Amino acid sequence: MAKTNKTYQSALQEQDGVESPDSLSANVAKIIKANRKKQPSVKDLVSGITSGNITALSRAITLIESTNPTHSKKANEIITKCLPYANKSIRIGITGVPGVGKSTFIEAFGIHLTTLNKKVAVLAVDPSSSLSRGSILGDKTRMEDLVKNQNAFIRPSPSGDSLGGVARKTRETIILCEAAGFDTIIIETVGVGQSETAVHSMVDFFLLLKLAGAGDELQGIKRGIIEMADAIVINKADGENIKAAKSAKVEFNRALHLYPAKASDWSPKVSLCSALKREGISDVWTMIEDYTKTTSENQYFETNRNNQNKFWLLQTIEDRLKSKFYNSAKIKVELPMQIALVETGKTTPFAAAEYLLSL
Amino acid sequence: MAKTNKTYQSALQEQDGVESPDSLSANVAKIIKANRKKQPSVKDLVSGITSGNITALSRAITLIESTNPTHSKKANEIITKCLPYANKSIRIGITGVPGVGKSTFIEAFGIHLTTLNKKVAVLAVDPSSSLSRGSILGDKTRMEDLVKNQNAFIRPSPSGDSLGGVARKTRETIILCEAAGFDTIIIETVGVGQSETAVHSMVDFFLLLKLAGAGDELQGIKRGIIEMADAIVINKADGENIKAAKSAKVEFNRALHLYPAKASDWSPKVSLCSALKREGISDVWTMIEDYTKTTSENQYFETNRNNQNKFWLLQTIEDRLKSKFYNSAKIKVELPMQIALVETGKTTPFAAAEYLLSL
């Protein structure tokens, strides 16, 4: 577009648009657009995923994460077709407060696993990432070595407005990663809110990363995190920290013994590591292998996965029932009116609920 | 019926029935039956309740507790008519593990309140009572002195198969007690399960009874009970226990300071008492008066009651949505089938949920 001379007659001035560079011909633009639109078929993606093609896997995950109904439909078909190839993995949840060294630990742990010929997928559940508050895993440079590794696949947290949405997407992504041959799935989550409970409900083994003397022991007990943990790993147990880390280990062991025995028959363990110096990392994997052995023998491993599936089935139903009810046009009008009647003592919460349900 | 001589021809012998005593004429039986059926009207019950008639109050509560739909309808009318007279009270929740001395404390506390010209209603939330596992308050002889007191009204926990049902009945009973002029409502609950959370959601002040050195501090922190408490009262602080009680007080004060400030701006207090010796009881009431003053001035008292009403409104809706869905004939057939498909890896929990919701 050539510039034109305009006579501005108003205080509101109009800026000229940015021109297309001359070097971009109309033809080239057409080719680029056509390529963008060329979407692989469900069949292509499934055969790509099951033969371990990372591009196919990434594209299918993008469909899972999309809010476009056509994409969701396609994603559901892919997941159903991948299901027979999934499930053959160990799913490990890793949590810990910011600063505990989760990224460093996962990098060291992931690299160790690849040296054992494992294929490692690292996912995250972080509902805050959609608020661009700085997603965990969002900055892949924090796992520089792992990211370059042929046998590792790292995917940041899907964005979504609710924990429920993020959790569903991550659970579906696990299935695709397993179908693509990843035998070790690591789900990272931040140590806040309900995310940990959601991740605990989708993994086989739940690992809590801690620092010695961080003084947040009460916090962990209060929020039920320690109760969920299959292992507490005290990170940064190096240099001058070693003594404090050792006494923290004693403390945590004592705390763990106050809890009743787990349904898994597994007694949670406490171990020390230095992710930075890559020390104590292989011990963590040995511990997880012990866990898998114990819980496979006593059938807890399979029972737990079945229970998790039932949990997500019921959870999804209940979330949908609620959102359908509260998003109905009638209820959006009537609910605030009933709340006002309750607040002014004109009706009881129970009578108001009856009325709303009768609409 | 006169005895007849029977010749028994079979090994199966028939016993003669019990005869009506001659002294019971047909007329008397009629009168008794008619009196049993004479149910007072809604109007009679409401005017009885609002003029402080205990028989009317008890009868209306029985209607609330009934599973008969006609009774429920009548109960709802009574509650709506009583609402304008309710709400003028302090509602106090009291919890503590079995053996902590809840009954003894409530008796001492209730009697103290009646000497201050208060009218005290004592209710309970104990869903286990329906399983006849021994209801709290079920045995009124445990509060012998209070039970005889003209200004006290004691009602055991309603029976009901779910905590939700018991909680609803208790909340409605609170309204009737308030309309009957009771200005201090005490809700007792056992220190187990979710009952405490339910009671916390229906009271203004939540009091946790403790013993010194019971060693269940972790339990209280873990289950979030300490976080809910507005006061921790250490009972049995008498004789040789005094020293231990005083050091427990220091410990609990320290634990309480680890929690963030409450929305009420009230700092939870720890105090000592001996319910048996009726010592330290008036201090508890003074503390509750302080609380009422603080939270009335900063408007938290009213805000909290409004929030509780909203909570129960939404909770009731969600409970009903779920029970309606799961109790539908179709879902009762299809849900187990979908669970089986999920368990055998034929479908995902999310796809199964979609399917069930589409029925």
**What is the mean predicted confidence (pLDDT) over A121-127?**
89
State the pLDDT at residue B219.
60
CB atoms A321 and B322 under 8 Å: yes
**What is the mean predicted confidence (pLDDT) over A281-309?**
96
Q: How far apart are CA B211 and CA B209, in angstroms?
A: 7
Token output for B67: 């599973």
Q: Best interface-test mutation with B: which of A73, A313, A346 has the largest number of B CBs within 10 A?
A: A313
Q: Best interface-test mutation with B: which of A81, A197, A257, A316 has the largest number of B CBs within 10 A?
A: A316
Q: Which of B33-37, B186-190, B301-305 has the lowest mean pLDDT?
A: B33-37
CB atoms A218 and B221 under 8 Å: yes
State the pLDDT at residue B34.
66
- Write down all domains in chain B, each with its CATH number in brackets: 38-84 (1.20.5.170), 86-298 (3.40.50.300), 312-358 (no CATH)
Instruction: Give the pLDDT band of residue A36 (cuts 50, 70, 90).
Output: low
Q: How many residues does chain A have?
A: 359
Instruction: Give the pLDDT band of residue A2 (cuts 50, 70, 90).
Output: very low
A342 touches chain B (CB under 8 A): yes
State the pLDDT at residue B8.
45
ipTM above 0.95, yes or no: no
Give B74-125 pLDDT, tens digit per residue.
999 999 999 999 988 999 999 988 888 999 999 999 999 999 999 999 998 8
Which residues of chain A does B306 touch, with a Cβ-Cβ cutoff of 8 Å?
A: 342-343
Among A168, A313, A349, select the one facing B309 at the smallest CB separation. A349
Give B176-187 pLDDT, tens digit per residue.
999 999 999 999
Instruction: Give the pLDDT band of residue A8 (cuts 50, 70, 90).
Output: very low
Give A205-253 pLDDT, tens digit per residue.
999 999 987 665 556 665 678 889 999 999 999 999 999 999 889 888 8
Contacts of A355 (CB under 8 A, 6+ apart): A334, A338, A347
Residue B213 has pLDDT above 50, yes or no: yes
Burial of A354 (0-12, 13-18, 19+ CB in 10 A): middle
Burial of B215 (0-12, 13-18, 19+ CB in 10 A): exposed
Q: Which of A224-233, A251-260, B138-147, B297-306 has the lowest mean pLDDT?
A: B138-147
Longest CA–CA separation in chain A, Å: 84
B350 touches chain A (CB under 8 A): yes
- CA B85 to chain A, closest CA, distance in angstroms equals 10
Q: Long-range contacts of range A242-249, CB-CB < 8 Å, 24 or more positions apart?
A: A242/A272, A244/A212, A244/A213, A245/A212, A245/A272, A246/A272, A247/A212, A248/A210, A248/A212, A248/A213
Q: How far apart are CA A65 and CA A75, in angstroms?
A: 9
State the pLDDT at residue B62.
94
CB atoms B353 and A306 under 8 Å: no
Which residues of chain A does B227 touch, with a Cβ-Cβ cutoff of 8 Å?
A: 222
Q: Which of B 139-198 lie inside 8 A of A, CB atoms? A: 168, 171-172, 175
- CA A69 to chain B, closest CA, distance in angstroms equals 14
Q: How far apart are CA A87 and CA A91, in angstroms?
A: 9
Better-scored residue on pLDDT, A102 or B144: A102
- CA A155 to chain B, closest CA, distance in angstroms equals 21
Better-scored residue on pLDDT, B232 or B10: B232
- CA B254 to chain A, closest CA, distance in angstroms equals 12
**What is the mean predicted confidence (pLDDT) over B40-63?**
96
Instruction: Give the pLDDT band of residue A159 (cuts 50, 70, 90).
Output: confident
Q: Which of A139-153, B112-126, B239-253 has the lowest mean pLDDT?
A: A139-153
Token output for B143: 């509060």
Among A76, A325, A343, select the one facing B306 at the smallest CB separation. A343
Contacts of B80 (CB under 8 A, 6+ apart): A347, A348, A351
State the pLDDT at residue A226.
83
Q: Which of A1-5, A96-100, B277-281 has the lowest mean pLDDT?
A: A1-5
Q: Which of A 12-71 lie inside 8 A of B, CB atoms? A: none
Instruction: Give the pLDDT band of residue A310 (cuts 50, 70, 90).
Output: very high
Better-scored residue on pLDDT, A218 or A152: A152
Which residue in B has a C-alpha nearest to residue A169's C-alpha? Answer: B350
Among B221, B325, B351, select the one facing A321 at the smallest CB separation. B325
B133 touches chain A (CB under 8 A): no
CB atoms A222 and B218 under 8 Å: no
Give B331-354 pLDDT, tens digit per residue.
999 999 999 999 888 899 999 999
A222 touches chain B (CB under 8 A): yes
Q: Which of A163-177, B8-22, B34-48, B219-233 has the lowest mean pLDDT?
A: B8-22
Residue A314 has pLDDT above 70, yes or no: yes
The overall average pLDDT reported for chain B is: 86
